[in-house]
Amino acid sequence: MSAQELISTEPATGAILWRGVAGDADREVAAARAGWSQWAARPLAVRIETLRRFANVVRARHEAFSDLIARETGKPLWEARTEVDTVIAKVDISITAFSDRTGQRRLEAQMGSRLALRHKPHGVLAVLGPYNFPAHLPNGHIVPALIAGNAVVFKPSEKTPAVGEFLVECYRAAGVPEGCVRLLLGGPDAGRALASHPGIDGLLFTGSARTGLALNRAFAETPEKILALEMGGNNPIVVWSTPDIYSAAILVIQSAFTSAGQRCTAARRLIVEDKLYDPLIEQITKLADRLIVGEPHADPAPFMGPVIDNDTADMLTENFLSLTSQGGRPIRYMTRPVDGRPFLSPGIVDMTDARERPDVELFGPLLQVIRTDSFEAAIAEANATRYGLSASLVSQDPRLYDQFWAGIRAGIVNWNKPTNGASSSAPFGGVGWSGNHRPSAYYAADYCAFPVVSSEAEQARASIGVGLSDG
Protein backbone atom coordinates (compact mmCIF):
# COMPACT_ATOMS: atom_id res chain seq x y z
CA MET A 1 0.00 0.00 0.00
CA SER A 2 1.43 3.41 -0.99
CA ALA A 3 1.60 6.30 1.46
CA GLN A 4 -1.38 7.95 -0.20
CA GLU A 5 -3.59 4.88 -0.55
CA LEU A 6 -6.37 4.29 1.97
CA ILE A 7 -7.94 0.91 2.66
CA SER A 8 -11.04 0.20 4.75
CA THR A 9 -11.73 -3.32 5.96
CA GLU A 10 -14.79 -4.87 7.54
CA PRO A 11 -14.18 -5.34 11.30
CA ALA A 12 -16.32 -8.50 11.41
CA THR A 13 -14.55 -10.33 8.59
CA GLY A 14 -11.31 -8.54 7.76
CA ALA A 15 -12.38 -8.32 4.11
CA ILE A 16 -11.34 -5.24 2.16
CA LEU A 17 -14.42 -3.06 1.69
CA TRP A 18 -13.06 0.07 0.03
CA ARG A 19 -9.92 1.59 -1.46
CA GLY A 20 -9.21 5.25 -2.05
CA VAL A 21 -6.56 7.94 -2.14
CA ALA A 22 -5.86 10.56 0.51
CA GLY A 23 -6.96 14.07 -0.39
CA ASP A 24 -5.39 17.51 -0.11
CA ALA A 25 -6.68 20.00 2.47
CA ASP A 26 -5.51 23.04 0.49
CA ARG A 27 -7.42 21.94 -2.60
CA GLU A 28 -10.63 21.11 -0.74
CA VAL A 29 -10.67 24.34 1.29
CA ALA A 30 -9.97 26.39 -1.85
CA ALA A 31 -12.89 24.74 -3.64
CA ALA A 32 -15.18 25.43 -0.70
CA ARG A 33 -14.08 29.07 -0.49
CA ALA A 34 -14.82 29.50 -4.17
CA GLY A 35 -18.28 28.00 -3.84
CA TRP A 36 -19.74 29.13 -0.53
CA SER A 37 -20.75 32.70 -1.32
CA GLN A 38 -22.93 31.64 -4.25
CA TRP A 39 -24.65 29.06 -2.02
CA ALA A 40 -25.13 31.63 0.76
CA ALA A 41 -26.71 34.02 -1.74
CA ARG A 42 -29.40 31.55 -2.71
CA PRO A 43 -32.75 32.07 -1.00
CA LEU A 44 -33.26 30.11 2.19
CA ALA A 45 -36.20 28.34 0.56
CA VAL A 46 -33.90 27.00 -2.16
CA ARG A 47 -31.37 25.70 0.35
CA ILE A 48 -34.14 24.05 2.36
CA GLU A 49 -35.65 22.43 -0.70
CA THR A 50 -32.23 21.11 -1.70
CA LEU A 51 -31.77 19.46 1.69
CA ARG A 52 -35.26 17.97 1.48
CA ARG A 53 -34.20 16.38 -1.79
CA PHE A 54 -31.17 15.03 0.06
CA ALA A 55 -33.49 13.32 2.54
CA ASN A 56 -35.34 11.75 -0.37
CA VAL A 57 -32.10 10.57 -1.96
CA VAL A 58 -31.06 8.87 1.29
CA ARG A 59 -34.53 7.36 1.63
CA ALA A 60 -34.22 5.84 -1.85
CA ARG A 61 -30.77 4.43 -1.00
CA HIS A 62 -31.71 3.35 2.52
CA GLU A 63 -30.83 -0.33 2.29
CA ALA A 64 -27.54 0.16 0.45
CA PHE A 65 -26.53 2.86 2.93
CA SER A 66 -27.47 0.69 5.92
CA ASP A 67 -25.54 -2.25 4.53
CA LEU A 68 -22.43 -0.13 4.02
CA ILE A 69 -22.57 1.30 7.55
CA ALA A 70 -23.02 -2.18 9.01
CA ARG A 71 -20.09 -3.59 7.05
CA GLU A 72 -17.67 -0.73 7.70
CA THR A 73 -18.42 -0.25 11.42
CA GLY A 74 -19.40 -3.80 12.35
CA LYS A 75 -22.62 -2.66 14.00
CA PRO A 76 -25.71 -4.85 13.55
CA LEU A 77 -27.78 -4.18 10.46
CA TRP A 78 -30.81 -3.21 12.56
CA GLU A 79 -28.74 -0.51 14.22
CA ALA A 80 -27.31 0.71 10.90
CA ARG A 81 -30.85 1.08 9.57
CA THR A 82 -31.73 3.19 12.60
CA GLU A 83 -28.73 5.41 11.85
CA VAL A 84 -29.92 6.00 8.29
CA ASP A 85 -33.36 6.89 9.67
CA THR A 86 -31.74 9.61 11.80
CA VAL A 87 -29.88 10.98 8.76
CA ILE A 88 -33.22 11.43 7.00
CA ALA A 89 -34.99 12.87 10.05
CA LYS A 90 -32.21 15.41 10.61
CA VAL A 91 -33.38 17.54 7.69
CA ASP A 92 -36.83 18.43 9.03
CA ILE A 93 -35.44 18.84 12.55
CA SER A 94 -32.78 21.23 11.27
CA ILE A 95 -35.27 23.27 9.26
CA THR A 96 -37.39 23.75 12.37
CA ALA A 97 -34.35 24.49 14.51
CA PHE A 98 -33.04 27.09 12.05
CA SER A 99 -36.34 28.96 12.18
CA ASP A 100 -36.61 28.64 15.94
CA ARG A 101 -33.02 29.38 16.90
CA THR A 102 -31.74 31.64 14.11
CA GLY A 103 -34.79 33.00 12.34
CA GLN A 104 -35.37 36.66 11.52
CA ARG A 105 -36.97 38.87 14.17
CA ARG A 106 -38.35 42.41 14.04
CA LEU A 107 -38.63 44.39 17.28
CA GLU A 108 -40.04 47.86 17.77
CA ALA A 109 -37.65 50.44 19.20
CA GLN A 110 -37.84 54.10 20.25
CA MET A 111 -38.67 57.05 18.00
CA GLY A 112 -40.31 55.00 15.29
CA SER A 113 -37.22 52.92 14.58
CA ARG A 114 -36.99 49.15 14.80
CA LEU A 115 -34.48 46.46 15.67
CA ALA A 116 -33.84 43.67 13.19
CA LEU A 117 -32.24 40.38 14.18
CA ARG A 118 -30.85 38.29 11.35
CA HIS A 119 -28.18 35.61 11.10
CA LYS A 120 -25.29 35.19 8.69
CA PRO A 121 -23.31 32.05 7.85
CA HIS A 122 -19.68 31.86 8.92
CA GLY A 123 -18.37 30.83 5.51
CA VAL A 124 -16.36 27.62 5.21
CA LEU A 125 -16.77 25.17 8.08
CA ALA A 126 -14.66 22.07 8.62
CA VAL A 127 -16.40 18.98 9.95
CA LEU A 128 -14.43 16.14 11.53
CA GLY A 129 -16.52 12.99 11.88
CA PRO A 130 -16.12 9.94 14.14
CA TYR A 131 -16.29 6.25 13.23
CA ASN A 132 -19.02 5.08 15.63
CA PHE A 133 -21.86 6.93 13.85
CA PRO A 134 -20.08 7.77 10.59
CA ALA A 135 -23.21 9.09 8.85
CA HIS A 136 -25.48 10.42 11.61
CA LEU A 137 -22.97 12.49 13.59
CA PRO A 138 -21.26 14.39 10.74
CA ASN A 139 -24.64 14.81 9.05
CA GLY A 140 -25.82 16.45 12.27
CA HIS A 141 -23.28 19.20 11.63
CA ILE A 142 -23.42 19.34 7.83
CA VAL A 143 -27.18 19.69 7.31
CA PRO A 144 -27.65 22.71 9.64
CA ALA A 145 -24.44 24.25 8.28
CA LEU A 146 -25.73 24.01 4.70
CA ILE A 147 -29.17 25.35 5.59
CA ALA A 148 -27.51 28.37 7.18
CA GLY A 149 -25.57 29.03 3.97
CA ASN A 150 -22.12 27.69 4.81
CA ALA A 151 -19.88 25.53 2.67
CA VAL A 152 -18.45 22.43 4.34
CA VAL A 153 -15.21 20.50 4.10
CA PHE A 154 -15.90 17.10 5.62
CA LYS A 155 -13.18 14.76 6.78
CA PRO A 156 -14.59 11.39 7.82
CA SER A 157 -12.75 9.10 10.19
CA GLU A 158 -9.98 7.21 8.45
CA LYS A 159 -11.70 4.09 9.81
CA THR A 160 -14.96 4.77 7.94
CA PRO A 161 -14.09 6.55 4.67
CA ALA A 162 -16.56 4.57 2.55
CA VAL A 163 -19.54 5.81 4.56
CA GLY A 164 -18.22 9.37 4.38
CA GLU A 165 -17.90 9.13 0.61
CA PHE A 166 -21.42 7.68 0.29
CA LEU A 167 -22.86 10.50 2.41
CA VAL A 168 -21.25 13.18 0.25
CA GLU A 169 -22.52 11.48 -2.91
CA CYS A 170 -26.04 11.77 -1.50
CA TYR A 171 -25.66 15.52 -0.95
CA ARG A 172 -24.45 15.99 -4.50
CA ALA A 173 -27.15 13.79 -5.98
CA ALA A 174 -29.68 16.08 -4.28
CA GLY A 175 -28.22 19.15 -5.97
CA VAL A 176 -25.93 20.58 -3.30
CA PRO A 177 -23.21 22.25 -5.40
CA GLU A 178 -19.90 20.41 -5.46
CA GLY A 179 -18.13 23.49 -4.14
CA CYS A 180 -20.32 23.51 -1.04
CA VAL A 181 -19.66 19.98 0.24
CA ARG A 182 -16.09 18.86 -0.12
CA LEU A 183 -14.75 15.46 0.97
CA LEU A 184 -11.26 15.26 2.45
CA LEU A 185 -10.06 11.69 2.82
CA GLY A 186 -7.07 10.86 4.95
CA GLY A 187 -5.72 10.07 8.37
CA PRO A 188 -4.82 12.22 11.38
CA ASP A 189 -2.41 14.33 9.33
CA ALA A 190 -5.24 15.34 6.98
CA GLY A 191 -7.39 16.21 9.99
CA ARG A 192 -4.68 18.39 11.48
CA ALA A 193 -4.09 20.12 8.14
CA LEU A 194 -7.79 20.90 7.83
CA ALA A 195 -8.22 22.05 11.43
CA SER A 196 -5.26 24.43 11.19
CA HIS A 197 -6.04 25.71 7.70
CA PRO A 198 -6.26 29.52 7.52
CA GLY A 199 -9.04 29.24 4.94
CA ILE A 200 -11.66 27.79 7.28
CA ASP A 201 -13.98 29.95 9.37
CA GLY A 202 -14.71 27.33 11.99
CA LEU A 203 -14.53 23.69 12.98
CA LEU A 204 -17.32 21.35 14.09
CA PHE A 205 -15.89 18.31 15.85
CA THR A 206 -17.22 15.06 17.28
CA GLY A 207 -14.67 12.71 18.80
CA SER A 208 -12.38 11.98 21.70
CA ALA A 209 -11.55 14.36 24.51
CA ARG A 210 -7.84 14.10 23.75
CA THR A 211 -8.33 15.39 20.22
CA GLY A 212 -10.88 17.97 21.37
CA LEU A 213 -8.47 19.38 23.95
CA ALA A 214 -5.76 19.66 21.31
CA LEU A 215 -8.17 21.51 19.01
CA ASN A 216 -9.17 23.85 21.83
CA ARG A 217 -5.52 24.76 22.37
CA ALA A 218 -4.93 25.18 18.63
CA PHE A 219 -7.88 27.59 18.31
CA ALA A 220 -6.93 29.66 21.36
CA GLU A 221 -5.36 32.40 19.22
CA THR A 222 -8.13 32.50 16.62
CA PRO A 223 -11.24 33.66 18.50
CA GLU A 224 -12.77 34.79 15.23
CA LYS A 225 -13.28 31.13 14.27
CA ILE A 226 -16.21 29.16 15.66
CA LEU A 227 -15.23 25.93 17.44
CA ALA A 228 -17.88 23.43 18.49
CA LEU A 229 -16.60 20.42 20.42
CA GLU A 230 -18.69 17.35 21.18
CA MET A 231 -16.48 14.92 23.03
CA GLY A 232 -16.84 11.78 25.09
CA GLY A 233 -17.86 10.89 28.60
CA ASN A 234 -17.12 8.76 31.64
CA ASN A 235 -20.84 8.48 32.19
CA PRO A 236 -22.50 7.19 35.39
CA ILE A 237 -25.75 5.30 35.79
CA VAL A 238 -26.99 5.23 39.39
CA VAL A 239 -29.42 2.55 40.61
CA TRP A 240 -31.09 3.43 43.90
CA SER A 241 -34.33 2.64 45.74
CA THR A 242 -36.08 0.64 43.05
CA PRO A 243 -38.01 -2.63 43.46
CA ASP A 244 -37.89 -3.54 39.76
CA ILE A 245 -34.43 -5.06 39.57
CA TYR A 246 -35.01 -6.68 36.19
CA SER A 247 -35.92 -3.40 34.48
CA ALA A 248 -32.97 -1.70 36.17
CA ALA A 249 -30.65 -4.41 34.83
CA ILE A 250 -32.00 -3.95 31.30
CA LEU A 251 -31.40 -0.19 31.48
CA VAL A 252 -27.82 -0.82 32.62
CA ILE A 253 -27.23 -3.32 29.80
CA GLN A 254 -28.66 -0.93 27.21
CA SER A 255 -26.59 1.95 28.56
CA ALA A 256 -23.30 0.08 28.74
CA PHE A 257 -23.32 -2.35 25.82
CA THR A 258 -25.47 -0.97 22.98
CA SER A 259 -23.21 -0.35 19.93
CA ALA A 260 -20.58 -2.50 21.71
CA GLY A 261 -20.18 0.41 24.12
CA GLN A 262 -19.03 2.66 21.28
CA ARG A 263 -21.26 5.61 22.08
CA CYS A 264 -20.09 8.80 23.74
CA THR A 265 -23.16 8.55 26.00
CA ALA A 266 -22.57 4.91 26.99
CA ALA A 267 -22.53 4.16 30.71
CA ARG A 268 -18.95 3.52 31.82
CA ARG A 269 -19.73 3.36 35.55
CA LEU A 270 -22.59 1.72 37.47
CA ILE A 271 -23.07 3.19 40.93
CA VAL A 272 -25.42 1.06 42.99
CA GLU A 273 -27.05 1.14 46.40
CA ASP A 274 -25.36 -1.32 48.73
CA LYS A 275 -28.48 -3.37 49.44
CA LEU A 276 -29.36 -3.67 45.75
CA TYR A 277 -25.88 -4.77 44.69
CA ASP A 278 -26.23 -8.56 44.80
CA PRO A 279 -29.63 -8.92 43.08
CA LEU A 280 -28.80 -6.27 40.47
CA ILE A 281 -25.40 -7.74 39.56
CA GLU A 282 -26.98 -11.19 39.33
CA GLN A 283 -29.56 -9.94 36.82
CA ILE A 284 -27.03 -7.91 34.83
CA THR A 285 -24.72 -10.92 34.57
CA LYS A 286 -27.54 -13.19 33.43
CA LEU A 287 -28.55 -10.70 30.73
CA ALA A 288 -24.96 -10.13 29.62
CA ASP A 289 -24.52 -13.89 29.24
CA ARG A 290 -27.51 -13.93 26.87
CA LEU A 291 -26.35 -11.06 24.63
CA ILE A 292 -25.62 -12.23 21.09
CA VAL A 293 -22.30 -10.90 19.82
CA GLY A 294 -22.00 -11.46 16.10
CA GLU A 295 -21.42 -10.14 12.61
CA PRO A 296 -23.79 -7.45 11.30
CA HIS A 297 -25.97 -9.62 9.07
CA ALA A 298 -26.20 -12.67 11.33
CA ASP A 299 -29.51 -14.45 11.92
CA PRO A 300 -30.70 -14.21 14.65
CA ALA A 301 -29.70 -10.58 14.77
CA PRO A 302 -26.93 -9.81 17.29
CA PHE A 303 -27.30 -7.32 20.09
CA MET A 304 -23.83 -6.00 19.35
CA GLY A 305 -21.11 -6.46 16.80
CA PRO A 306 -17.33 -6.08 17.09
CA VAL A 307 -15.52 -2.94 18.10
CA ILE A 308 -14.00 -0.99 15.24
CA ASP A 309 -10.64 -2.80 14.90
CA ASN A 310 -8.16 -5.15 16.56
CA ASP A 311 -6.07 -2.32 18.01
CA THR A 312 -9.14 -1.06 19.86
CA ALA A 313 -10.01 -4.56 21.05
CA ASP A 314 -6.45 -5.06 22.30
CA MET A 315 -6.55 -1.74 24.13
CA LEU A 316 -9.82 -2.61 25.86
CA THR A 317 -8.70 -6.05 27.01
CA GLU A 318 -5.48 -4.50 28.32
CA ASN A 319 -7.51 -1.90 30.20
CA PHE A 320 -9.69 -4.62 31.72
CA LEU A 321 -6.55 -6.29 33.05
CA SER A 322 -5.22 -2.92 34.23
CA LEU A 323 -8.40 -2.29 36.24
CA THR A 324 -8.04 -5.67 37.94
CA SER A 325 -4.38 -4.99 38.70
CA GLN A 326 -5.47 -1.80 40.49
CA GLY A 327 -7.70 -3.77 42.83
CA GLY A 328 -10.79 -4.24 40.66
CA ARG A 329 -12.66 -7.51 41.12
CA PRO A 330 -13.74 -9.17 37.85
CA ILE A 331 -17.47 -9.90 37.71
CA ARG A 332 -17.54 -10.90 34.05
CA TYR A 333 -14.34 -11.34 32.11
CA MET A 334 -13.88 -9.60 28.79
CA THR A 335 -12.95 -12.20 26.18
CA ARG A 336 -12.18 -12.37 22.45
CA PRO A 337 -14.61 -15.01 21.13
CA VAL A 338 -13.33 -14.91 17.52
CA ASP A 339 -9.61 -15.30 16.90
CA GLY A 340 -8.12 -12.43 14.96
CA ARG A 341 -11.28 -10.31 14.88
CA PRO A 342 -12.27 -7.48 17.24
CA PHE A 343 -15.32 -9.12 18.81
CA LEU A 344 -15.49 -8.65 22.58
CA SER A 345 -17.76 -10.13 25.18
CA PRO A 346 -19.10 -7.56 27.69
CA GLY A 347 -16.68 -7.01 30.56
CA ILE A 348 -17.78 -6.03 34.08
CA VAL A 349 -15.42 -5.23 36.95
CA ASP A 350 -16.18 -4.12 40.52
CA MET A 351 -14.01 -1.09 41.35
CA THR A 352 -15.45 -0.39 44.81
CA ASP A 353 -12.24 -1.31 46.65
CA ALA A 354 -9.79 -0.44 43.89
CA ARG A 355 -6.72 1.57 44.80
CA GLU A 356 -7.40 3.92 41.90
CA ARG A 357 -10.27 4.56 39.54
CA PRO A 358 -8.86 6.02 36.32
CA ASP A 359 -10.97 8.86 34.92
CA VAL A 360 -10.78 7.79 31.29
CA GLU A 361 -13.29 7.02 28.58
CA LEU A 362 -12.90 3.33 27.75
CA PHE A 363 -14.73 3.28 24.42
CA GLY A 364 -16.14 -0.23 24.34
CA PRO A 365 -18.22 -2.83 26.23
CA LEU A 366 -16.52 -2.40 29.61
CA LEU A 367 -18.53 -1.47 32.71
CA GLN A 368 -17.09 -0.53 36.10
CA VAL A 369 -19.24 -1.03 39.21
CA ILE A 370 -19.07 0.97 42.45
CA ARG A 371 -21.29 0.34 45.47
CA THR A 372 -22.11 3.08 47.97
CA ASP A 373 -24.10 3.29 51.20
CA SER A 374 -25.66 6.76 50.82
CA PHE A 375 -27.27 8.64 47.97
CA GLU A 376 -25.07 11.67 48.62
CA ALA A 377 -22.03 9.44 48.21
CA ALA A 378 -23.50 8.08 44.97
CA ILE A 379 -23.85 11.59 43.53
CA ALA A 380 -20.32 12.45 44.64
CA GLU A 381 -19.04 9.30 42.97
CA ALA A 382 -20.99 10.08 39.80
CA ASN A 383 -19.41 13.54 39.73
CA ALA A 384 -15.88 12.18 40.29
CA THR A 385 -14.91 12.81 36.68
CA ARG A 386 -13.55 15.57 34.49
CA TYR A 387 -16.23 14.67 31.94
CA GLY A 388 -19.86 15.71 32.06
CA LEU A 389 -21.85 14.36 29.16
CA SER A 390 -24.58 11.96 30.28
CA ALA A 391 -25.91 10.60 33.58
CA SER A 392 -28.94 8.54 34.51
CA LEU A 393 -30.79 7.64 37.68
CA VAL A 394 -32.84 4.46 37.98
CA SER A 395 -35.15 4.95 40.96
CA GLN A 396 -38.84 5.07 41.77
CA ASP A 397 -38.42 7.95 44.23
CA PRO A 398 -39.10 11.32 42.51
CA ARG A 399 -37.47 13.16 45.40
CA LEU A 400 -34.22 11.35 44.69
CA TYR A 401 -34.47 12.36 41.04
CA ASP A 402 -34.91 16.02 42.07
CA GLN A 403 -31.80 15.71 44.22
CA PHE A 404 -29.93 13.89 41.45
CA TRP A 405 -30.87 16.45 38.79
CA ALA A 406 -29.81 19.35 41.01
CA GLY A 407 -26.53 17.78 42.07
CA ILE A 408 -25.26 15.99 38.99
CA ARG A 409 -22.85 17.67 36.59
CA ALA A 410 -23.81 16.66 33.06
CA GLY A 411 -25.45 18.04 29.95
CA ILE A 412 -27.87 15.09 29.69
CA VAL A 413 -29.60 13.92 32.89
CA ASN A 414 -32.09 11.04 32.56
CA TRP A 415 -34.51 9.32 34.91
CA ASN A 416 -35.41 5.64 34.50
CA LYS A 417 -33.97 5.80 30.99
CA PRO A 418 -30.61 4.69 29.58
CA THR A 419 -27.70 7.12 29.46
CA ASN A 420 -27.73 6.87 25.66
CA GLY A 421 -30.36 7.28 22.96
CA ALA A 422 -30.59 11.10 23.04
CA SER A 423 -33.18 12.79 20.84
CA SER A 424 -32.11 14.90 17.86
CA SER A 425 -35.07 17.18 18.62
CA ALA A 426 -33.30 18.43 21.75
CA PRO A 427 -29.87 19.98 22.33
CA PHE A 428 -27.04 17.50 22.81
CA GLY A 429 -23.77 18.17 24.60
CA GLY A 430 -21.90 18.21 27.86
CA VAL A 431 -19.58 20.14 30.11
CA GLY A 432 -16.02 19.67 31.32
CA TRP A 433 -14.06 17.41 29.03
CA SER A 434 -17.28 16.50 27.20
CA GLY A 435 -17.70 19.76 25.31
CA ASN A 436 -17.26 23.52 25.19
CA HIS A 437 -20.84 24.65 25.86
CA ARG A 438 -21.85 24.48 22.19
CA PRO A 439 -24.44 21.69 22.19
CA SER A 440 -25.26 20.01 18.91
CA ALA A 441 -28.46 18.29 17.66
CA TYR A 442 -31.30 20.84 17.86
CA TYR A 443 -28.92 23.63 18.96
CA ALA A 444 -26.51 23.03 16.06
CA ALA A 445 -28.16 26.01 14.39
CA ASP A 446 -26.56 28.21 17.04
CA TYR A 447 -23.00 27.55 15.88
CA CYS A 448 -23.75 27.45 12.14
CA ALA A 449 -24.67 31.14 11.92
CA PHE A 450 -23.93 34.25 13.93
CA PRO A 451 -26.49 36.92 14.93
CA VAL A 452 -26.48 40.37 13.36
CA VAL A 453 -28.52 43.05 15.11
CA SER A 454 -29.51 46.18 13.18
CA SER A 455 -31.09 49.38 14.45
CA GLU A 456 -33.11 50.67 11.50
CA ALA A 457 -35.18 53.72 10.55
CA GLU A 458 -36.55 54.63 7.13
CA GLN A 459 -35.61 58.30 7.56
CA ALA A 460 -32.60 59.85 9.23
CA ARG A 461 -33.63 61.96 12.24
CA ALA A 462 -31.00 63.03 14.73
CA SER A 463 -30.35 65.72 17.31
CA ILE A 464 -27.90 66.49 20.09
CA GLY A 465 -29.81 67.61 23.15
CA VAL A 466 -26.98 68.41 25.56
CA GLY A 467 -23.34 69.34 25.57
CA LEU A 468 -23.22 71.77 22.65
CA SER A 469 -21.95 75.34 23.05
CA ASP A 470 -23.91 78.24 21.59
CA GLY A 471 -22.89 78.67 18.01
- Catalytic residue ranges: 230, 264
Cα–Cα distance measured from residue 92 to residue 43, given in angstroms and rounded to the nearest whole number: 17
One-letter amino acid of 26: D
- Cβ(448)–Cβ(121) below 8 Å: yes
Q: Are strands 202-206 and 390-394 parallel, antiparallel or unpaired?
A: unpaired
C-alpha dist (Å) from residue 144 to 87, 150, 442: 12, 9, 9
What sign has the CA pseudo-torsion 171, 177, 178, 182?
negative
CB atoms near residue 81 (< 10 Å)? 16
How much is the CA Rg of the chain, to the nearest whole Å?
Answer: 24
Cα–Cα distance measured from residue 468 to residue 399, given in angstroms and rounded to the nearest whole number: 64
What sign has the CA pseudo-torsion 337, 338, 342, 343?
negative
Cα–Cα distance measured from residue 89 to residue 22, given in angstroms and rounded to the nearest whole number: 31
What 190-198 contacts at long range (C-beta under 8 Å, 24+ apart), as own/partner pairs, is 190/22, 190/23, 190/25, 190/155, 190/158, 191/128, 191/155, 193/25, 193/26, 194/25, 194/28, 194/29, 194/126, 194/128, 194/153, 194/155, 195/126, 195/128, 197/25, 197/26, 197/29, 197/126
The span from the first CA to the last CA of the chain, in angstroms, equals 84
C-alpha dist (Å) from residue 347 to 252, 333, 422: 13, 5, 24
